């Protein structure tokens, strides 16, 4: 994949990577994400991660997605910068587990369960909303991976840190139609500088 990797050496990076390497051992996704969530929440709560200034720059046309580190067959670490009010449509992680934590600002995550599927169309039930702040972290484990994520603040930037079970190069996004059903579209993902 031709994604730019931003390999900035920021304060807290080596400690975070060392702790994540210990957390991703084994094969049980629930146990792995529990350990990763504890590591990420601890590091974020203690303000042990300080990203360089350019991570605070939001884009006008959507959130910025930046790779911080990738270890094949282990995990991928990403930072996402959300401008005021920016967010996603309903999407999945194509079968990958993920732990998402908030570095700064607030993030709203709405979870959905697949209720019905017919002729390439999908129906979802909204099953919960979480409004999270700095230091909080949550996980998504397939098949419970359908969600939206957004910065609910209309004036400030938010930054979230994401740990995936691998490099997420694509996902499925679901676009609403007027009859309450959703159409699925596969989206190729790239990284920003």
Q: pLDDT grade, residue 3 (50/70/90)?
A: very low
Rounded Cα distance, 158 and 135, in Å = 12
Classify residue 3: in a domain, yes or no: no
Convert the pLDDT of each residue in 92-136 to its tens digit: 999 999 999 999 999 999 999 999 999 989 999 999 999 999 999
Q: If DSSP codes are grouped into helix, strand and coil, which group holds residue 98? A: strand
Q: What is the pLDDT of residue 179?
A: 92
Residue 87 lies in a domain: yes
| 1 part of a folded domain | no
By residue range, what is the domain housing residue 179? 13-50+57-188
Outline where the chain has alpha helix (H). 13-23, 29-45
pLDDT score recorded for residue 193:
78
- Give the Cα separation of 149 and 89 in Å (integer): 8
pTM above 0.85, yes or no: yes
In whole angstroms, what is the distance from residue 111 CA to residue 140 CA? 9
* Domain tally, the chain: 1
Does some domain include residue 91? Answer: yes
Q: Decide if 156 is inside a domain.
A: yes
**Tell me, what CATH number does 82's domain have?**
2.60.120.10
Sorting pLDDT into bands at 50, 70 and 90, what band is 9? confident
């Amino acid at each position: 994949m031709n994604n730019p990797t931003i390999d900035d050496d920021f304060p807290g990076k080596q400690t975070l990577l060392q702790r994540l390497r210990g957390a991703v051992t084994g094969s049980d996704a629930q146990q792995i994400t529990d350990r990763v969530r504890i590591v990420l929440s601890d590091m974020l709560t203690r303000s042990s991660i300080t990203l360089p200034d350019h991570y605070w720059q939001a884009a006008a046309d959507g959130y910025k997605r930046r790779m911080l580190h990738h270890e094949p067959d282990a995990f991928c670490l990403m930072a996402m910068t959300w401008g005021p009010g920016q967010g996603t449509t309903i999407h999945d992680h194509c079968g990958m587990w993920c732990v998402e934590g908030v570095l700064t600002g607030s993030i709203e995550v709405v979870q959905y369960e697949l209720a019905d599927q017919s002729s390439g169309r999908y129906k979802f039930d909204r099953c919960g909303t979480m409004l999270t702040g700095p230091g909080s972290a949550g996980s998504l484990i397939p098949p419970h991976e359908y969600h939206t994520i957004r910065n609910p603040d209309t004036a400030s930037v938010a930054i979230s840190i994401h740990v995936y079970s691998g490099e997420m190069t694509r996902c499925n996004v679901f676009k609403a139609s007027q009859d309450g059903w959703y159409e699925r579209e596969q989206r190729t993902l790239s990284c920003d500088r």
